[in-house]
Structure 1
Amino acid sequence: MVQKRSLFRATTESTGALSSAPMMAPVEPSARLLPHLNLSLRSKMLLAFSVLILILGIPYIFLAIPILQYQGQYNRIIDNITAANSINGYIKFAIDAEMWDIIAGKEDFYTADQYAILDDVDAKLAIMRETSTSQRGKLKLRVIQNTMNTLRRDVERVGAQISAGATFDENMVLLERIRWVSELVEEGVQDYMLFEVNRTEQQYRALEAGLQQWIYVSVIGMLVAVAFSIAAALRISRSIYLPIKKLHDVTTTIAREDLEPLVTSDNVDEITELGMSFNIMVGKVRELLAAKMQEQENLKKAELRVLQAQINPHFLYNTLDTIIWMVESKRTAQVVDLVRALSRFFRISLSKGEDWITIGEEFEHVSSYLAIQKIRYRDILDYQIDVDETILSATILKLTLQPLVENALYHGIKNKRSGGVIRVRGRAAGT
C-alpha cells in the first residue's frame, strides 16, 4: 500500500479582523464528472465501491463459467485417455494367454479368469462412454464394446465346445479367432486414444482463447474501473475538502504571524494498490499460459509416442520363442543372424530417445524387422528393399515405416497363407 502525506500550511493575516463570512473554495471542473448525489459521505463511498465491484466482478463471472466448463471437459478427456491406456496392451495379452491355458488343459474353463478380464475391460469402457463429452468418441467406444461382445461370445463358444468334447484342433481354430478379435479391440482402443489426444489440443485452444478474452475484458474492466475510481474519488474528496476548506478560511483570519499551524493527512492510494494487484494477476495469467503451452507440448509428445506405439508386444515374445526353438534345434548360424537383426531393430527403435532419425536408419530398422519375420514366416514371406542412396542422410520420424510393413504382413500375407512379397521403395520426391 502506497501512502502519501499531504501538508497544508495555514497562512497568517495581518488585518487583525475576523471575516464576517467563511470563504468558499471554488468548485473544480473535475468534480462535475459525477452527478450530484444528496447522500452522506458513507453512502457515497458504499455506492462507489458497489459500482466498482460490479464493473470488475460481472465480466469475470461470465468469463469464468466457460473456462471452468472447458477445464472440466479437459479433465474428463485426460481421465478417459488414462483408462484407455490401461486397456491397451492388456486385453489381448491377458485374454489370449488365459484362453490358451484353458485349451491346453492348464486351467479349467469354469475356474479361470477369462470372464474377470472381460468384465474389467467392459466396466472401464462403460465408464469412459458415460463420461465422454463427444458423440464421436461415444460412437468409437460403442464400436469397441460391440467388439468386446463378440469376444465374449467367442469365449463362451470355447466353453461350449469343451463341454461338448471338441478336439484340440477345433478349439485352436476358435482360439485364432479370439486372438484376432482381441487384436481388433486393441486397435479400436488405440484409435480412440488418438482421437482423444487430438481433442485435448482442441480443448486447449478453446481454453487459451477464453483466457485471452479474459485478459482483454480484464484490461477493459480495469480501465473503466480506474476512470470511475478517479471520478468517484474527485466527487467524494470534494465533499470532504469543502467543509475542511471552509474551516481553514475561517481559522486563517485569526492566525498570528508567529504561528505556523501544520495539518497532516495520511491518504491511502487504492488505485495504486489495485494496479499492483492487476500486475500480479497478469503475471499469474502469463504463468498459467506458459504452463498450458508446456502441457500442450507434452501432449504433442504423448501423441507422437502413441503413433509410434504400434509395435505389437507379442513381436518380442514370438522372436524370443523362435530363438529358443532354433537354439534347441542347434541352428547356431541362424540364431546369430536372428539375434543380430533383433539387436539392430531395438537399437534403432530406442535411438537414444530421439524422435527423428535418418532415412538410412529407418530402412535399416525395417530391414531388421523383415529379416526377423522372414525367419518366422519363411514359407510365405519374401521381401525386397530398394532405396535411393541420395536420400539416406535425410531425416524422418522414427518408426514411420514399420507399422505399415507390419500391417502389410499381418493383414496382407499372414491371413492368405499363400505367400507374398513385401516391397519397400524409397525415392526423392519428383523422381
Structure 2
Amino acid sequence: MKMVLGPGRVTSREIGAFEPAHERDAGATNRNPGLLPWSTRLIVFAPCGPPGRVSLGTTEGDMVMETFAERVAGIDIGKADVKVCLRVPSTRVGRRHSEIRTFATTTRSLLALRDWLIEEQVTLVGMESTGEYWRPVYYLLEEIVECWLINPQHIKVVPGRKSDVSDAAWIAQLVEHGLVRPSFVPPPPIRRLRDLTRFRSSLIHDKTRQVQRLHNVLEDAGIKLSLVATDIMGVSGRLMISALIAGQREPEQLAELALGRLKKKNAALIDALTGRFDDHHGLLAQMMLDQIDSLDAAVAKLDIQIDASIEPFRQIQEHLVTIPGVGKRASEVIIAETGADMARFATPGHLSSWAGLCPGNNESAGKRFSGKTRNGNAWLCGILGDCATAAARSKNTYIAERHRRL
C-alpha cells in the first residue's frame, strides 16, 4: 500500500518490526510535497494517538487502526520451546509495552507461562498452527484465556525478517488489532470423539493396504481369484486363501469351497485358482491375514467406544442418516469433524469451503486462472466424497436422479 505524507509533525512509534516499513531513496527530489513519484519509498511513521488506537498517516485525514484487545500475547510454537510476545498498554500515554520471553514446551514450563499470562491479565492469546505442537499449549491455556489458533497462511511476514521472535511479535500485533480470524477448534468432548473416528479411519486405511498387498501376493503366485470373486476377503475368498495357505493346491478342490452365487462360476474358479502358489506365498499371505484380523478387532473396539461417545449427539445422528448416502459411520465422522454446531459457519458455502469442496476463485485483469480446490479438512472431505458416491448409486432418490442427469 502506498501512502502520501503531508505536512505535520509525526513521531516514530513501536509498530511492525520496529523498523521503517518504507524509506525514501537518498537524493530523491520532490517538487510537490503532497505527491510523490511512483518509485519513491517512504518512511511510515505513526503519530501518537489516544490510548487504545494506533494512527497511521498525517494530522489531516488520519488512518486509524482500532485496537481489538488491550492485553494480548502472541506465541510462536516449536517442538522444544515457545517464544511469547506480550503486548499491554504502557505507562506512557499512547504507547504499547512489549515483552518477549522463551518457555520450554514441557508441562511445568507451560504452567509457568500460564501463571505469567494470568499475572499480566492477558485476555487474548494468538498462536500459529504448527504441526501437532500447538495442542499442549492451546489445551493448557484455553482454560484461563481466550485462545486463537491462526492459519499460518494468514500471518506471513515480510521476507527477510523471519525469526521466531519476530513471528511472535507479529502474531501479537495481528491479534491485538483483530486482523486475523481464529481457526475452528472443537470443545473437548468433540475432540475426544474426533480422535476416535480419525484413528478408526486410519486403521481402515491400513486394512485396505494389507488387502492390496494380499492381492499382489496372489498375483505373484498366478492366482486370479479377484477376476471371479468381487471381494477376495469375502467368506468364499477367505476359505480358498486359507486352504491355499494350509497346503491345498488342487484348483478343483479349492473351487468346491465356493458359497452362494459363486458356486455357479465353478469353471471360472478352477481356471483362476490354477497357479504356482507355494510355501513362500503362504507365509506372506498368512501374516497379512493376521494383520487384517487384528485391524478388524481394533476397529470393532473403536466402534463400541465411538457409539458411547456419540450418545449426546444421538438425535443429530438420527437426522443425518436420513440423508441418502450417509450411513452410521459417515454420520459419526461428520459430527466429529464439524462439532455438530452449524452456527459457527455463516452459510452452507462457508462449511463447503472449510471442508475443501469448493473451487477457488482466481481472477485478475479479466482473466481466470487456476481455481483448484483449496486444502480443507481432509477427513470431512473424504467421507463426504464417499457419501456422494453412495448417494449417486442409491435407487429411487432425488440425488441419484440428479446425478444421472448431470
Q: TM-score range by the shorter chain?
A: under 0.3
Higher helix proportion = 1
TM-score, L = length of structure 2? 0.21
Query: Which structure has the larger Rg?
Result: 1
